[in-house]
Structure 1
Amino acid sequence: MEKAQLVVVDDEARLCESLNILLSERGFLVQCFTDGRNAIDYIQNDKCDLVLLDLIMPQMDGYDVLAFIKKILPDLPVIIMTAQGSAEYAVKALKGGAEDYICKPFEVDELCRRIENALEKRRLHQDYSLMAGKLAITEAQLRQAQKMEAIATLAGGIAHDFNNILMGIQGHTSIMKMHLEEGHPFQKRIKSIEKLIEGGSKLTSQLLGYARRGRYEVKPLNLNHIITLTVETFKPLRKEVVCNLELAPDLPAVEADASQMEQVLMNLLVNAADAMPEGGNIYIRTKKTEVISTENMHFPIKPGSYVLMSIQDEGVGMDEATKERIFEPFFTTKEMGRGTGLGLASVYGIVKGHNGYIDVKSQPNRGTTFYLYFPIVEEKVVSPEEEGTTRVVNGTGIVLMVDDEEEILNVGKTILEIMGYRVICARDGEEAIDLYRKHKDEIDIVILDVVMPRMSGKAVFNRLKEINPHVPILLISGYSSDRETTHKLIVKSDGFLQKPFRIEDLSRSIQQIIRRKKSGVQSLNA
């Protein structure tokens, strides 16, 4: 254990010499001064753990020395030692900040005991201050996490309602489109409406990204492929920016939703370009990295194997105050009308939703670099699926449609009937189960909403599977607060569509599921 450094201040030279010898024998390091000013000069520039201070001294008395010490080092313990033993002197010294008061003459053992007590008290105070500081940081992090989670819940709820509204608009638009001949002047207007619906859907996807929901099309992916495709899409949009790719060959796979990875990268590229209004370079890099120890990390991360993707720009950078808020939803440094404040918030939510980690380094006028860590999976990369057909595929059969939204039921029934299907509608889980029991030999497919009141989509799914383990079920949803449960449900289902979906996608999904049923092929998701 390191020896404590004591400073003795007393105008009696012989007492200083004696204390130096006696205290050194007890294991202390001792520095003696017969003048207060010299002692203060030493204390200001050298290590000192405790001061033994005489009160009555020429030139500068003990009270003045004590006051100066407490001004510059308020936590440094001072023990007053004096021949003036009256209570008045003791009270004045203690009020001035002295730790203790001992009257001359004193026993060395008694002095050592008081020194040890004062040093132990100081150690405990330092430990408490350290713990209090750590606790304050932890509490601040907890409050921030709770705030982010509360806003995420709100964002997810808004996305759910908004997606259902968009689904109704999309449905009615599709009905009009199906009744109009090709080349009709209203076809252009319908396409404009569909583009607006697509814009609204992208906005809700950002909300869902922040809320860490909607991560449903999860497959082993090579991020290099996503980066290459996204950069090709981005380049024509911001020609003043040069994208430089430094992608590691043979990059391991990560388990991710391709569309959300594209959203993450596009948001970061747009953010980087906005930081360089006069143009500049963006560097996108990938590599495999091993996190063994978290000691040097700026954020908590589990040890393991990761794919690290970094996006670096040469832009204006950020100060610490801005960095602390960049992942908050609706926070933006851009001028009114140029940003929603959801871009980086959705990036944060999507990365977290993929069990990943994100860090940022930035300085004003020195650019910004985002670091994204995604866990490696030992699975074969799934090749991108070919673009689906753009036409509606008609069919025959009986569909049981289950949704608590009356408008979606009505428009869905109309669309399905135009496509050639007979439709049975259920407005909640109990009704769906009763109807399926009555018509299970006739029903070819069930279209089931995941989020419903009273009986959840999961409960309905399980009850239907109890009645008929082979019943084909196509899940639809605008949002689910229970991401993990929903993902597991989708894996067991025959297909999934995120609201708002196109009528072409609905028709294709139904046909694929019914074909698999007739051919006896097991669900691709199972």
Structure 2
Amino acid sequence: GDEFPLAGSATAMAVESRRGILIPTLADEEIATRLPVHLPVRRAGIKTTLLAPLIARGEAFGALLLMSATPDQYAEQDIPTAETVAAQISGAVANALLLAEHRRMTEALQKSEASLRSIFSVAPIGIGVVSSERILIQVNDRICRMVGRSRAELLGRSSRILYPDEGDFDYVGRVKYAQIRESGAGTVETRWQTADGRLIDVLLSSTPLDPGDASKGTTFTALDITERKRSEAERHALETRLRHAQKMEAIGTLAGGIAHDFNNILAAIIGYTELSKIESVGSPVIASNLNDILKAALRARDLVRQILMFSRQAQSEFGPVQVHRVVQESLALLKATLPTTIRIRQDLSTQAKILGDATQVHQVVMNLGTNAFHAMRAQGGLLDVSLSEVLIAEKRPVELDHLPPGRYLKLTVSDTGHGIEPAIMHRLFDPYFTTKPKGEGTGLGLAVVHGIVKHHGGGIHVLSQPGVGTSFDVYLPMMTEEAAALPPLEEEPAAGGKERILFVDDEPAIAELGRRLLESLGYRVTSCKGALEALEHFSADPQAFDLLITDMTMPQMTGDRLAVTLMNIRPGLPVIVCTGFSELIGPERARDMGIRALIMKPFLKGEMAKAIRTALDPMGA
């Protein structure tokens, strides 16, 4: 723990003079007179000290100290040896040995091999010498520990013994000697193999013993960078996950904005379609066309909800799903986009149901079908899709090991494309992993499929043979016979009333649509195109309205603030809030505020009618 000043010390003299210094066995009085700073070292029992400066790239950064309690252990002729050793250590640390130092090191090796070995044994990095034929001439203890071999096992052997294969061995020789010829030194990263078969990452730095005569061999340093490489890989993986998380956050923000605007558009399409259906009575062709429009709009609504669910901004809702119908719709869409070189064959004989999300099942079929298309687009082929009921017993493929025994609906999507290499099969469902060229795939398709199937309590089994094709078997738990046999709920006619409703939406088309839809149910409606206009109407006569229906996202004042303001004016006012998407309000917060119902846009006429009666008649709901 003691500290001694550097100024005036032998170390300072060695650094400043850039020469080795011998402090011989002198009397304490003479030491006190000539080198007082060294006196504590003498009193500690050190009789002889040999110092040499550590210099790299022209800068001195320390000194090599050899101390002995034996009098006259070191002599003047040992100074060159110490200087050479110091130059070797300096070069290893700086990763660039100077050519002149290499020559001195060669001479020192010939004069004092025993001294050099003692320094080698304590060096913190591997140091060795190879001949021009790459035969190991000298290695230190650190190299022996790195590869788990004794010095006897290594010396006289080709350095090939250090490498796992000929490829690594040839690469190092080719690159290292090319660098030495060009710049006098070589540095290369490679792999060594230990005696027990482990691979370690090594940074090799090499320089010739004599720049003018390559036949004298090459000295090298070896630094084990396995842990550093592992840390770098972990850091890279963390950075990648962070970028992915940020990307998903950005997708979520974008999805929210798209959902709000798109749902407003869909609200107009769905609402005016329902109004047109009312007026199409007596025209079955028009009514059929309007039903198709409504069906497509509702699919779009479900897709928006799916986007929000994927970006973790909405929750999926499970219900009975007739998978064969979802598959039929998906294949109809795929058929319209596939080239004529790809044929579709389907076998959807079973009509078994699952408890799930129809939109998510639709996405599974679309993603697997799209994958199959990419595998066959060059040569064409057959896309085979089938549904069957299977019984999973105790023995099953390892990919399905997590599934409890029972009855499952198996969806099989097969193609006759190029197949999947066995080496990458284990990465198929990794997010962002793709074999497609840049710009043709995000690597999310199969990851989404895996997430959806897992969310439904199912599993996936993949079979593939390069050059033959690929088959994805998706297993989804079937609904129990009792649940599947329940008759579908009959759609009740939309109930109306005579109450007075204040309807508020900043979109003129939605405001007008709301007025017409509610009037078709018998209500008396005042439609406002903004919160301030609604506040003015309500303030003029708070008793003139039985219910407030307001959009959430509006300029000047949001729907929840408008609701609170009007409920402060008239406590107990029933309120329904509509939103295409909002992070500011959810069902729990709405209830806490006293809002009777929260409806997601776009809504059907029947959904709004039911919500109105629930809000106006809470006891009868």
The two structures have a TM-score, normalised by structure 1, of 0.57
1:376 aligned partner = none
1:211 aligned partner = 308
2:285 aligned partner = 188
Using the aligned pairs only, state the percent identity. 21
1:268–1:145 Cα change, 3 Å: same
**Is the CA contact 1:70–1:97 (under 8 Å) kept in the aligned structure 2?**
no
**CA RMSD, 1 decimal:** 5.8
Match of 1:395, SS state, is coil
TM-aligned CA deviation for residue 401 of structure 1: 0.9
Counterparts of 1:49-448 in structure 2, within 5 Å, are: 73=191, 76=202, 98-99=220-221, 122-123=223-224, 125-179=225-279, 182-183=281-282, 185=283, 188-212=285-309, 226=319, 229-231=321-323, 233-234=325-326, 240-241=347-348, 261-269=357-365, 277-280=383-386, 313=412, 315-316=414-415, 323=429, 362=462, 364=464, 365-368=469-472, 387=489, 389=491, 391-448=493-550
Match of 1:394, SS state, is coil
Aligned-partner Cα distance in 2 for 1:22–1:510:
82
Aligned-partner Cα distance in 2 for 1:91–1:310:
73
1:397–1:93 Cα change, 3 Å: farther
2:614 aligned partner = 512
Aligned match for 1:502, one of 604, 611, 621: 604
**Is the CA contact 2:500–2:546 (under 8 Å) kept in the aligned structure 1?**
yes
Aligned match for 2:162, one of 43, 49, 55: 43
Aligned-partner Cα distance in 2 for 1:244–1:31:
74
**Is the CA contact 2:503–2:526 (under 8 Å) kept in the aligned structure 1?**
yes
Aligned-partner Cα distance in 1 for 2:510–2:447:
30
1:32 aligned partner = 152
1:141-169 deviation digits (Å, cap 9, x = unpaired):
33333334434443443343233223223
Match of 1:470, SS state, is coil
TM-aligned CA deviation for residue 403 of structure 1: 1.0
Mind listing any 5+ residue stretches in structure 1 that lack a counterpart? Answer: 47-62, 100-117, 248-257, 288-296, 298-308, 334-340, 374-380
TM-aligned CA deviation for residue 24 of structure 1: 9.0
1:22–1:456 Cα change, 3 Å: closer
TM-aligned CA deviation for residue 427 of structure 1: 2.7
1:479–1:97 Cα change, 3 Å: farther
Number of matched pairs: 408
The two structures have a TM-score, normalised by structure 2, of 0.50
Counterparts of 1:468-479 in structure 2, within 5 Å, are: 468=570, 470-479=572-581
2:170 aligned partner = none
Higher relative contact order (CA 8 A, sep 6+): 1
1:512–1:21 Cα change, 3 Å: closer
Match of 2:384, SS state, is coil
Match of 2:543, SS state, is coil
Aligned-partner Cα distance in 2 for 1:267–1:81:
61
**Is the CA contact 1:447–1:476 (under 8 Å) kept in the aligned structure 2?**
yes
Aligned-partner Cα distance in 2 for 1:191–1:273:
29
Aligned-partner Cα distance in 1 for 2:600–2:205:
73
TM-aligned CA deviation for residue 389 of structure 1: 3.7
**Is the CA contact 1:241–1:273 (under 8 Å) kept in the aligned structure 2?**
no
1:349–1:35 Cα change, 3 Å: closer
Aligned-partner Cα distance in 1 for 2:606–2:453:
30
TM-aligned CA deviation for residue 171 of structure 1: 3.2
TM-aligned CA deviation for residue 31 of structure 1: 2.4
1:79–1:412 Cα change, 3 Å: closer
Counterparts of 1:8-27 in structure 2, within 5 Å, are: none
TM-aligned CA deviation for residue 454 of structure 1: 3.6
Opposite residue 32 of structure 1, the aligned amino acid is A
1:459–1:387 Cα change, 3 Å: farther
1:409–1:432 Cα change, 3 Å: same
Opposite residue 581 of structure 2, the aligned amino acid is Y
Aligned-partner Cα distance in 2 for 1:332–1:30:
49
TM-aligned CA deviation for residue 395 of structure 1: 1.3
1:416–1:9 Cα change, 3 Å: closer
TM-aligned CA deviation for residue 428 of structure 1: 2.9
TM-aligned CA deviation for residue 430 of structure 1: 3.8
1:377 aligned partner = none
1:294-332 deviation digits (Å, cap 9, x = unpaired):
xxx9xxxxxxxxxxx99764634767597567899xx99
Opposite residue 278 of structure 1, the aligned amino acid is D
